[in-house]
Chain A
Amino acid sequence: MSYLADGLPKPVPAPDGLDAPFWEAAANDKLVLQKCASCGKFQWGPEWVCHRCYSLDLVFEEVEPSGKIYSYERIWHPVHPALKDQGPYIVVLVEFPNHDDVRIVGNLVGDPEQPVTIGDPVSAVFEHHTDSDPEFTLVHWQIAK
C-alpha cells in the first residue's frame, strides 16, 4: 500500500534526460546522487554543470540510502483532489552529511501524527508503483532503527 493516495502526478524522467539515472536507480532499490567527476563534490537537484568548478563531466554515484532529517512538515490541508480524504501526512527533507550536505524530499512512513525530530537518522524505503502506467518508484524514509 502506498503512503499517499493514488492520483497525484506520477514522476517521469525529465525529457532532456537530466535526472533519468535517479529514477532508473530508484526502480532498482538504489539511491544515486549527482557528483562532479572533476572536483568530486556532490550536488542536488541535478544540473548540467558543476556549480563549483564548472566541469560538464557529471556522473550519478550510488550512495548509502541513509541520511538525517534536516527539516520536515506535517500537512493537513489537501491542495490536490487525490488527497481529499488523505488526512495528515509528513514530508521530510533528508540531508546527506557524507555527501556534501545535499538534500532530497520524501515522505516519512509510519504514523502521520508521530512526533518528528530534526536531526534524527533515517533510511530509505523504495515504494514501487509497478501496476501504474507509467511505472514509477518513490523514495520514502523511515526512522533508522
Chain B
Amino acid sequence: MDRSVRGKVAVVGVGETKYYKRGQAPDAEFKLALMAVIEACKDAGISPTKVDGFASFSNDRSDPSHLAAALGIDDLRFSNMQWGGGGGGGSGAIANASAAIATGIAECVVVFRALAQGQFGRFGQGPVRDVIAGDAAHTVPYGLMSPAQSFAMKVNRFMHDHGVEQEALRAISLASYHHAQNNPRAVMYGRPLDEEKYDNSRWIVEPFHLFDCCLENDGAAAMILVPAEKAKDFPHKPTYILSAVSGSHYRAGASVHNTPDYGTSTFKTTAPRLYDMAGCGPNDVDVAQIYENFTGGVLMSMVEHGFCEADGCNEFFVKENLIAPDGKVPTNTSGGNLAECYMHGLGLNIEAVRQLRGESTNQVKDPDISLVASGPMVTPVSSSIFGTEATL
C-alpha cells in the first residue's frame, strides 16, 4: 500500500481578500474568511455549496460549522484544526486536508486563514496583567514576551555557532522587498528597501532590525483542494501536492527554552520526510516560499531544507541568489510575510501555486517544483512541496 499523499491531491482554486495593514480591515474577520472562500471557489469555477471540508491552523476563529451554514454547504464532511504551532501550521493544514482527500474522507476541502487584529488581539504585544503563572512566569517578568524576543535568542545562538553575519539576514529582507515592488497586492508595494535603509532602521531585538520582522496584517486567504483525478475538471492549470508534513524534534516544546537542539528552525527531522514523500531533493526545487516570521527563521529553514550549508550562510545569503527569475533559489517571490502580507503564511502557499500556474508577479521561468516552509521555530512546524503535472 502506498502510504503517501504524493500526487493524489490537487489545488484547483486560490482566493485572497485585499490585504490591509493591521487593524485597518473594514470588514469583520468572519466576513473576510467568507470572502476568501468565495474568491477561491470563483477561481475554481465551483459553487461554495460543493465545499465539504475546512482545514485551518493557529486556532483560527472562523468556525467550520458556522462557515458551512453561512455558505449553505450541502454536506460538511471534514472539520480540522492543526493543533499548535501558530504559523508553523500552514503546511500542516494542507497535509491534513490532503490526507482527508487521499483517504476518501472528503472531496473538496478549503484550507484557509483569516485575521483581523483590529477586531481581536495583536501577536506582537506582551500580556498586560497583574500576575502571571506557569511557563510564562519564567520568561515574561524578565521582559521576554513577544515572538521576536522568543526567537531572537535561537537565532543569536545559530549565528554564534556558524559565524553568520548580519548581512545574511539583510539579504533575505532585501529579496522580499525587491519582489514586493512588482506585486500590486503587496502592502509594501511602492516602498522599496535598500542596504542603507535597512542598516539605519531601528533594532527591535538584536539581531533583528525593523525590516527583519514580519508585518502584522488583516485579511484572509483560501485554497481549494480536490482529488487529483478530478483536477482537470477545473479551469486553471492544476497544481499537485507532492508532499506535506509537520512535526518537531525531540523535546522541541520543552518549556523555558530547554530544547536540547536550540539554535534551529525545527525542520531537521521534518525536511527529510518532506523530500522523501515528494521524491525529490533541494536541488530539484525551482522556487521557494520560506515563512518569514523573522529573517533568522528563513536562514535556518533554508539551511535545514538543504539549500545551503550551515557554515556557508555568508556566501549563500546574498540578494542575487534569492531573487526571481534567475537567483539560485528565488525565495519569497510575492514579497512574503515581510513585504506582501502576513496572512500567517497561507499567502506563501498561494504564491507557490501561482508560480506553478505561471501567474506570479515575479515569475520564475517554467517551474515544476515549488516548496513552502511554514513557521520556523513555532512548533510543530510544517512544510509542503507542490508540483506540476510533469512531476507526477
Which A residues form the contact surface with B (CB < 8 A)?
4, 8-15, 18-19, 23, 43-45, 51, 70-77, 79-81, 83, 86, 88-89, 91, 93, 101-107, 118, 134, 136, 138, 140
Contacts and interface: CB of A to CB of B under 8 A. Distances in A.
Nearest to A45: B255
Nearest to B124: A79
Nearest to B136: A9
Interface residues on B, range: 35 or more
Contact of A79 (B132, B149, B203, B258): B149
Contacts of B255: 44-45
B139 to A, nearest CB: 5
B155 to A, nearest CB: 9
Contacts of A10: 130-132, 141
Interface string B196-225: 000000111110000000000000000000
B132 A91 contact: no
A45 B263 contact: no
B133 A75 contact: no
A103 B262 CA distance: 11
Report the 3 A-B pairs with minimum CB-CB distance, sorted nearest first. A45-B255, A9-B132, A11-B137
20 contacts: A8-B126, A9-B130, A9-B137, A9-B140, A12-B131, A13-B133, A18-B134, A23-B137, A43-B258, A44-B258, A51-B251, A73-B205, A74-B203, A74-B205, A75-B144, A75-B152, A76-B206, A77-B202, A79-B145, A103-B258
Interface of B: 124-146, 148-149, 152-154, 156-157, 160, 202-206, 251, 254-258, 260, 262-263
A83 B256 contact: no
Given A79-B145, A105-B138, A45 B133 contact: no
Contacts of A13: 133, 137
A19 B125 CA distance: 25
B167 to A, nearest CB: 19
B101 to A, nearest CB: 36
Q: Which of B130, B141, B146 has the most CB of A within 10 A?
A: B141
B131 A11 contact: yes
Contacts of B258: 43-45, 102-103
Given A10-B130, A11-B132, A79-B149, 7 more contacts: A9-B131, A11-B137, A11-B138, A11-B141, A14-B133, A75-B144, A102-B258
B261 to A, nearest CB: 11
A127 B124 CA distance: 27
A19 B138 contact: yes
A94 to B, nearest CB: 10
B228 to A, nearest CB: 41
